[in-house]
Chain A
Amino acid sequence: MGIENEYGVAVEGVHGDRVDPITLSAAVVTAGTSLASRWDYATESPLRDARGYHLPRHEALPDQLTDETRYANRLLGNGARFYVDHAHPEYSGPEVTSARDAVAWDRAGDLIVQAAAEQASATLGERVRVFKNTTDGKGSSYGCHENHLVPRGVPFDAIVEGFTTHLVSRVPFTGAGRVGIGQHGEVTGFQIAQRPDFFEARVGLETTVRRPLINTRDEPHADVLRWRRLHVITGDALVGQWGTWLKVGAASLVLQAIAAGLTWPSVLNPVAAFRAYSHDPSLQQRWTCSDGVDRTAVEVQRMLWERVSPVVAGAVGEWWLDDAGAVHAAWGQALDDASRGADALADRLDWAAKYRLLQGLSQRGGLDWSSPRLAALDLQWADLDPDKGIGLTLERQGALRTVVTPAEVEHARTEPPATTRAWLRGWVLHHFAGHVVQATWDQFTVQVGGRVVTVRLPEPLDHTAARWDHALDEVTDAAEMLRVLETGGARLERS
């Protein structure tokens, strides 16, 4: 699995309408890459729909044509991709096999983007700010996407049915918090999550308009017969590490349970439920489920937590989430704590910590939800500058839980995860970047002497450190690398 973030980007003191966000984002991406290679679009298929058809290019919205080489685009030495996506700098983290690793490479991405913004600031002579959020509160939204590998054999209907229930009810454990309700913040108040107001469909291919809870994009970047990549677009971008950890870890557990054939009641009218659950920070809102029981979001999550227990214990199915047990235990603890309300989660979750601060500030200043000061806190929560960012400040004070150490994050800035094919991509970039002509998630192309050779990586869980580290250790030139890979059973194709 992996996490990708589209970051908010702004120039200090300059109104957003006067900034060209594409140019600004490109400046950030270009500034931020040391080890880089050209991106390979050959295996992208943004118009293939999981429901079994292709959307003809002429019917696609321009927004759906993500395979056109228009913007700055880099593959990094830590296995991630750093590029401009729809007028935002985007960091797409490498494939990992634990929620903990997902956090390390996600936080590393935040640091890379912040460093890039600082570099771009120096170059442009303007202060560039980057924000880890998903809306400007004025009608625009952008995403924090999770990618989960699911066996192709799992019926897509089962995913739609079972996973939707999790996505709409998980807000108390995954929300970033937002001052303002409605796409344009037209209603004053506070809600648990930032993304729900922007979701309008149950299932669909679009990601920028008519957003669906379940995105049917079928672009596995892997052996299409074995794997599906579920592209999850409903989540909030979180500054807090613990929330990120629980978000991707619990999602993985739920998918694992679905893959094992487990089922549960579904939340009816899920698009409306998503908003209703988000709009109630008291966590009291109930919603009818398919078994006739009305449940709060926490109660739905408790039900899911119980239903996925067999897969955590290893009794059903086989999965690769290395920290399944720890995630499940933490999820259970959070469920217990949630019964005491938002305050009990304020040490762990962005929305609860933010809510607590906002209530404190409003009490001090006699403010209400229409006050710009509260909206400013909401925005500044997500600023990735450690001196300005409120989420990061809380973390530094020990008021927001971490999951990984600074050393682990530092490692993740430059090194790829060891347990997926990201490792080999990163290794090749570290040692022979000059030979890499193009690269994408599931292949890279090198030029060695007069030859152009593509190495295919259709298996995300293959080409790990365990497989190649020893064999590649003694390699001194690119030709030898190719010999080692070929002898070792890798798929090479000569152009």
Chain B
Amino acid sequence: MSEQERSQERAQQQSQNTGRGFGSGAGGPHAGQEQVQRQTQESDAAFDALLDQIDAVLETNAEEYVRSFVQKGGQ
């Protein structure tokens, strides 16, 4: 991952973390933010679970797998 992408990721995570510690309970000014944060956390959790699954399915010898895949040119 490039430096630019890493800093983009960090910025994104920081904006998701805003709202923690501000207000609580329904109806408060930051309730919407908390809901978004909860949804983001849920989708993060779902994404993590998906990554786990992909990790498990991915070919174990990645280098050999990729190296062996050679095709003839087509149209």
Residues of A within 8 A of B (CB): 6, 8-10, 13-17, 21, 63, 85-88, 90, 131, 135-143, 145, 189, 207-209, 233, 356-357, 359-364, 367-369, 371-373, 375-377, 379-380, 387-388, 390, 393-394, 397, 399
Contact = CB atoms under 8 A, between A and B. Distances in A.
A142 B9 contact: no
B69 A87 contact: no
B42 interface: no
A367 B58 CA distance: 15
29 contacts: A8-B69, A10-B68, A13-B68, A15-B68, A16-B70, A21-B71, A90-B74, A135-B71, A136-B70, A136-B71, A140-B70, A140-B73, A142-B72, A142-B73, A233-B75, A357-B50, A357-B54, A359-B9, A361-B55, A363-B9, A368-B2, A372-B66, A373-B62, A376-B66, A388-B57, A390-B57, A393-B53, A393-B57, A399-B50
Given A86-B73, A88-B74, A380 B1 contact: no
B74 A397 contact: no
Contacts of A141: 73-74
Given A6-B74, A16-B70, A360-B51, A380 B9 contact: no
Contacts, number: 124
Contacts of A145: 75
A367 B50 contact: no
A142 B72 CA distance: 8
A4 B47 CA distance: 33
Contact of A394 (B5, B50, B58, B75): B50
Interface of B: 1-2, 5, 9, 47-48, 50-51, 53-55, 57-59, 62-63, 65-75
Given A372-B66, A373-B62, A379-B69, A360 B47 contact: yes
Contacts of B53: 393, 397
A16 B5 contact: no
Contact of A208 (B5, B9, B73): B73
A136 B67 CA distance: 9
A207 B75 contact: yes
A145 B75 CA distance: 9
Nearest to A129: B69
Contacts of A63: 75
A378 to B, nearest CB: 8
A368 B6 CA distance: 11
Contacts of B74: 6, 85-88, 90, 140-143, 208
Contacts of B54: 357, 361, 377, 390, 393
A380 to B, nearest CB: 6
B52 to A, nearest CB: 10
A141 B69 CA distance: 12
A140 B71 contact: yes
Given A10-B69, A376-B59, A388-B57, 17 more contacts: A14-B68, A16-B68, A63-B75, A137-B69, A138-B70, A141-B74, A142-B71, A142-B72, A208-B75, A209-B73, A357-B54, A362-B1, A372-B62, A375-B66, A380-B58, A390-B54, A397-B53
B65 A379 contact: yes
Given A357-B51, A376-B58, A376-B59, A368 B72 contact: no
A9 B69 CA distance: 9
A6 B75 contact: yes
A367 B1 contact: yes
A373 B69 contact: no
B53 to A, nearest CB: 7
Contact of A373 (B48, B51, B58): B58
Contact of A361 (B5, B51, B65, B72): B51
Nearest to A378: B66
Nearest to A376: B62
Nearest to B70: A16
Contacts of A394: 50
A86 B68 contact: no
B34 to A, nearest CB: 21
Contacts of B5: 359
Nearest to A5: B74
Given A10-B68, A16-B70, A372 B57 contact: no
Contacts of B67: 15
Nearest to B12: A343
A371 B75 CA distance: 29
Contacts of B63: 372
A7 B59 CA distance: 20
Contacts of A397: 50, 53
Nearest to A389: B57
A271 to B, nearest CB: 18
Contacts of A143: 74-75
A369 B75 contact: no
A388 B68 CA distance: 17
Contact of B72 (A90, A140, A360, A379): A140
Nearest to A19: B70
Contacts of A369: 1-2
A209 B72 CA distance: 12
